[in-house]
């Protein structure tokens, strides 16, 4: 009886196949040889497990699929038609063209990142962004790191390591990815002192907890949830006044990094960095890639003396921001300084988009997609752990899949595997596509992918 192992091809035979030769030309011979050997070993194990060996074509197909999976460009550009403006799974805030160009320039060549062009001596990568942040927030100075979690960790480590930090029990929260304020305090070397209750905390609760070992008072904006009903929290100004009387620094984690008044767009008020600085906090911490609308970054803004202490801490080097993100952030902040954020920053353009404009776009899409699609009113959301529960009136293109083979999941899968993946949302066996979160330059690609998916 012929051994099933003899049906397995040699490495050289596989390499001589035209499809595999194409992979060698695209990548390199050595990495493709390694991949071929790996797939042959997998086929050998399949035989040992008692199953039939894959035929030659199936083996080559597996090699092609592995190459595509392992070596493709990543991350892949997708079209966000979910209606969730700050979609964490889709990379949160898309950047403005100016911010993208700035990051590209920083990546393509050398720059004055840490060179003072006036003196020819070494400079600081923080100097320029500190001035911009000071101008836009009213702070004395600022420092930028790689994300807001790092910013808070750095601030606490620099100012309160070995000391007590007082936090309202209702603000000892967990945000996305298992990031918990108590854990951050522990990692920074500070000791958490919880005061008040989950739903009601007063300034006197903080005052009663102050001791000789108090390093800071920490206020945390509960950005991704909301407690309503019988609640009370002290005003930030109350905590600042309390801190001043007892010589205790007040730190404020704002989370989302909002620089525009959200109430002007029919949304609940989101704490603004300018308000925190104006209230007199020692340091405010906020994100760059949420409601600020820039790249991933953590921004610490506040009093210069405290910023200098933070900047000198050894952890500052470990969490510093890279040059591309720094360039993109500087370009984004300039939009606010120039008063053009609503027109230039994509997430604010989406938030500010009139409902009638969304409806017109949805109707235009429906006309091109035909009878398979219809238009309905819907709600868009902010997402990204910002403005929980807040929605914006919108309109969506609806594709009813109740009579389609595979239903809505099959159509959504086809959209995800289009030339440019399109991500919508599913409700009641219907696929919904919200124009509010689709960039203007993406419309043609979206319609092509959706048309192909419907026909398939």
Q: What backbone phi and psi angles, to 5 degrees, belong to 217?
A: -105, 130
Answer yes or no: are the C-beta atoms of 69 and 104 closer than 8 Å. Answer: no
| Residue range(s) occupied by CATH 3.90.1150.180 in the chain | 79-87+348-455
Summarize pLDDT for 223-232 with one digit per residue, the tens.
Answer: 555 666 677 8
Instruction: Give the CA diameter of the chain.
Output: 92
pLDDT along the chain (456 residues), means of 10: 80 94 94 94 90 90 92 93 96 97 96 93 94 97 95 95 92 66 84 88 92 95 67 89 96 92 94 96 96 97 98 96 97 98 97 97 96 96 85 97 93 96 97 98 97 92
**CATH topology assigned to domain 79-87+348-455:** 3.90.1150
**Distance of alpha carbon 223 from alpha carbon 221, whole angstroms:** 5
CATH 3.40.640.10 residue spans of the chain: 95-344
Whole-angstrom CA distances from 6 to 3, 38, 45, 62, 404 are 6, 17, 13, 19, 45
CATH 3.40.640.10 for domain 95-344, yes or no, is yes
| Per-residue pLDDT reduced to its tens digit, 249-299 | 999 999 888 999 999 999 999 999 999 999 999 999 999 999 999 999 999
- Residue 248 has a pLDDT of 97
Contact 41, 87 (CB under 8 A): no
Tokens standing for 400? 């009813």
Residue 161's Cβ-count burial label (10 Å; 0-12, 13-18, 19+) is: middle
Identify the pLDDT of residue 175. Answer: 63
CB atoms within 10 A of CB 311: 19
Distance CA 182, CA 196 (A): 16
The whole-number pLDDT of residue 224 equals: 56
Q: What is the pLDDT of residue 225?
A: 57
Give 425's strand partners. Answer: 432
Edge to edge, the sheet with strand 430-433 lists: 84-86, 373-383, 391-400, 430-433, 425-427
């Amino acid at each position: 009886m012929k051994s099933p192992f003899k049906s397995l091809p040699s490495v050289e035979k596989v390499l001589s196949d035209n499809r595999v030769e194409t992979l060698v030309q695209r990548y390199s011979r050595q990495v493709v040889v390694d991949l071929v050997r790996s797939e042959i070993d997998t086929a050998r194990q399949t035989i040992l497990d008692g199953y039939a060996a894959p035929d030659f074509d199936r083996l080559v197909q597996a090699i092609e699929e592995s190459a595509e999976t392992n070596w493709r460009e990543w991350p892949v550009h997708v079209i966000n038609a979910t209606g969730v403006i700050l979609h964490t799974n889709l990379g949160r805030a898309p950047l403005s063209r100016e911010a993208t160009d700035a990051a590209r320039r920083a990546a393509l060549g050398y720059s004055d990142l840490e060179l003072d062009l006036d003196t020819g001596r070494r400079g600081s990568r923080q100097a320029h962004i500190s001035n911009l942040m000071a101008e836009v927030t009213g702070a004395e100075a600022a420092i930028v790191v790689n994300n807001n979690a790092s910013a808070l960790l750095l601030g606490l480590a620099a100012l309160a390591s070995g000391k007590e930090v007082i936090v309202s029990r209702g603000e000892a929260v967990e945000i996305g990815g298992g990031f918990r304020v108590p854990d951050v305090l522990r990692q920074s070397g500070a000791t958490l002192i919880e005061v008040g209750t989950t739903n009601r905390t007063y300034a006197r609760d903080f005052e009663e907890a102050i001791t000789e070992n108090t390093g800071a008072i920490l206020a945390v904006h509960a950005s991704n949830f909301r407690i309503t009903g019988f609640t009370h929290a002290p005003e930030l100004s109350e905590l600042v006044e309390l801190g001043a009387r007892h010589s205790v620094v007040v730190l404020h984690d704002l989370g989302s990094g909002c620089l525009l008044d959200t109430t002007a767009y029919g949304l609940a008020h989101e704490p603004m960095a300018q308000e925190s600085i104006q209230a007199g906090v020692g340091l405010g911490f906020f994100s760059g890639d949420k409601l600020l609308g820039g790249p991933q970054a953590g921004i610490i803004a506040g009093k210069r003396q405290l910023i200098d202490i933070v900047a000198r801490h050894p952890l500052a080097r470990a969490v510093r921001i890279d040059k591309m993100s720094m360039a993109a952030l500087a370009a984004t902040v300039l939009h606010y300084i120039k008063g053009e954020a609503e027109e230039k920053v994509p997430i604010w353009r989406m938030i500010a988009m009139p409902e009638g404009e969304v409806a017109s776009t949805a109707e235009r899409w429906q006309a091109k997609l035909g009878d398979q699609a219809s238009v309905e009113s819907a709600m868009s959301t902010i997402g990204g752990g910002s403005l929980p529960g807040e929605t914006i009136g919108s309109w969506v293109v609806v594709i009813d899949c109740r009579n389609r083979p595979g239903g809505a999941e099959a159509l959504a899968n086809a959209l995800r595997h289009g030339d440019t993946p399109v991500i919508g949302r599913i409700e009641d066996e219907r696929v919904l596509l919200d124009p509010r979160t689709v960039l203007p330059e993406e419309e043609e690609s979206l319609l092509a992918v959706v048309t192909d998916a419907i026909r398939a």
